[in-house]
Amino acid sequence: MTKIICVTVFSFLLSISSFAQRNCGQQIYLEQLQITHPETKSQIIEQRKQAQLAAEQYKESLKMASTMKTTGTTVTIPVVFHIVLDNTQIASIGGTAGIEDRINTQLISLNKDYNGLNADKSKIPAAWASLYANVGIQFGLAVKKPDGTSTPGYDIRYATTPSTFTDVGSGCSSAKTYASGGLDPWDNTKYLNIWVVNMKYGSSTVLGVTAPPGSSFPSAEKGIALYYLAFGTRTSASEAFEYNIDQGRTLTHEMGHYFYLWHTWGDDGGLCPSDPGGDDDGIADTPPEADAKYHSPTYPLYDACSTTSPGVMFMNYMEYTDDTAMYMFTKDQSAVINGQIALLSNSYSLTQHPELAKVPTYIPTIGLSEQINIYPNPTTGVLSIKFNSDSNVLTDINIINLLGQRVLNISNPQSNIIDLSSLSKGIYMVQCQFNTGTITKKIVIQ
């Protein structure tokens, strides 16, 4: 049976002996980088520390009733897809029409997962329900090229030599330059580049490899390489996908790596964080874990590092389970991601060009004011929210001030009554996010 490898270029503490468990590309990539840039290992360790520091600063900013985002609404990151496949591979996913369909379904899936709209979050065990996070980042398909001309959001190169890329150890760099048979990246300070290719490491299929921002990685390699049969979401039984990898979660996982999330088990060869040489993902609210989990486990699941309830968080997006078995980021993981888009952080510049992108229409702003009633307005501090639809679930409430800053966030609210008495008098926007979209209302605190 062909193995499946999900490769993260900065998860370098992995032992080569774990190759049989689809994890070997990290070490190979690090070794190659160390040959050309001996300082790489220490740089990556430092960048990981900086990512955690940025996350802590982000959390502190929320406690201080401010935000490190530049606007009070969900930020938008432009995405461009570079398709580098041969004729047979392109035909297997439906030709140009199939590519466009997969791009659309992929972005829908990605945006659901990053905006708290994935329906399967209802499967999160009660023990972790309070940890579930709406990251609050939208990914929009590029509508303008770097030269200002229009684009469908992708370019295609019909590959001849090579049509299969095996240089996983260099971040699949040959797919990222036209001279070596791939496609050149667009300005990676404005666009998040994703290459859709056929990747192999020996006889094993590679689902993804991510080169995150940061000085340790060559500029041209920054971005995500995605296996073409793990791209998009299944809409019919006849479509070609890797087995049980057909809900778009590979890109959700790789995008987490792009924003400096690590695998939940820490890529330490099966050790626990308390063991000599042991490591974990550096995230406080993900349980310790010995090694990757696969397929579709049954809750609760225990291992050598989490021996008691609630066990291992195998449904986390940074796991190796099947697409249908992963359905959550935690609040601390969200803080790491949001820390990376904060002012002066690695990916801040990507958030500054929403005009370059079009977000899929599946995340509508619900404009029918009669669907929601927020009262009393004006208020002296206590609000009630009534939504006239039993089919919609309120997932987040954000309070935005006139400077566009989020001054209060309530995730997975257990009550439709909000206490705003801690806020200063003035005008605010109440942003209510439901599983089907977002409604924003103006309120006055007296």
Domain enclosing residue 49, as ranges = 4-340
3-state secondary structure of 337: helix
With b meaning 16 or more CB within 10 Å and e meaning fewer, what string describes 354-377? bebbbbbeebeebeeeebbebeee
Residue the block writes with tokens 């299929």: 205
Closest alpha carbon to 141 in 100, 183, 95 = 100
Residue the block writes with tokens 């199939």: 98
- Say how far apart CA 366 and CA 111 lie, in whole Å: 17
Q: What is the CATH number of the domain that holds 33?
A: 3.40.390.10
Compute the C-alpha angle 33/35/37, nearest 5°. Answer: 60
| Catalytic residue numbers, as ranges | 254
Average pLDDT for consecutive 10-residue bins of the chain (446 residues)? 53 34 48 70 82 90 58 79 97 94 94 92 94 95 96 95 87 93 96 95 85 78 92 89 92 94 88 91 95 93 97 96 94 96 93 92 46 82 73 72 77 80 87 68 85
* Domain co-membership, 310 together with 419: no
Residue 351 is assigned to a structural domain of this protein: no
Q: What is the CA radius of gyration of the chain?
A: 22
Token pair of 388 as six digits: 């006239």
* Domain co-membership, 309 together with 440: no
* Domain co-membership, 320 together with 374: no
* Domain co-membership, 292 together with 191: yes
- Whether the CB-CB separation of 314 and 321 falls below 8 Å is answered with yes
* Domain co-membership, 394 together with 256: no
With b meaning 16 or more CB within 10 Å and e meaning fewer, what string describes 147-162? eeeebebbbbbebeeb
Residue 20 is assigned to a structural domain of this protein: yes
- Whether the CB-CB separation of 397 and 430 falls below 8 Å is answered with yes
Q: What is the DSSP letter of 199?
A: B
3-state secondary structure of 25: helix
| pLDDT at 436 (0 to 100) | 55
- Whether the CB-CB separation of 102 and 232 falls below 8 Å is answered with yes
This prediction has a pTM of 0.77
Last residue of a domain, one of 292, 322, 340: 340
Q: What is the CATH number of the domain that holds 441?
A: 2.60.40.10
Last residue of a domain, one of 340, 357, 390: 340
Token pair of 171 as six digits: 């971040």
Closest alpha carbon to 208 in 110, 305, 341, 349 = 110
| pLDDT at 248 (0 to 100) | 94
CA 91 to chain CA centroid, Å, is 28
Residue the block writes with tokens 């439906």: 94
Pairing relationship of beta strands 417-419 and 382-387 according to DSSP bridges: antiparallel
| pLDDT at 198 (0 to 100) | 95
- Say how far apart CA 116 and CA 106 lie, in whole Å: 16
* Domain co-membership, 194 together with 325: yes
Residue the block writes with tokens 């695998």: 263
* Domain co-membership, 118 together with 180: yes
Half-sphere exposure of 199 (CA within 13 A, CB side): 34
| pLDDT at 132 (0 to 100) | 96
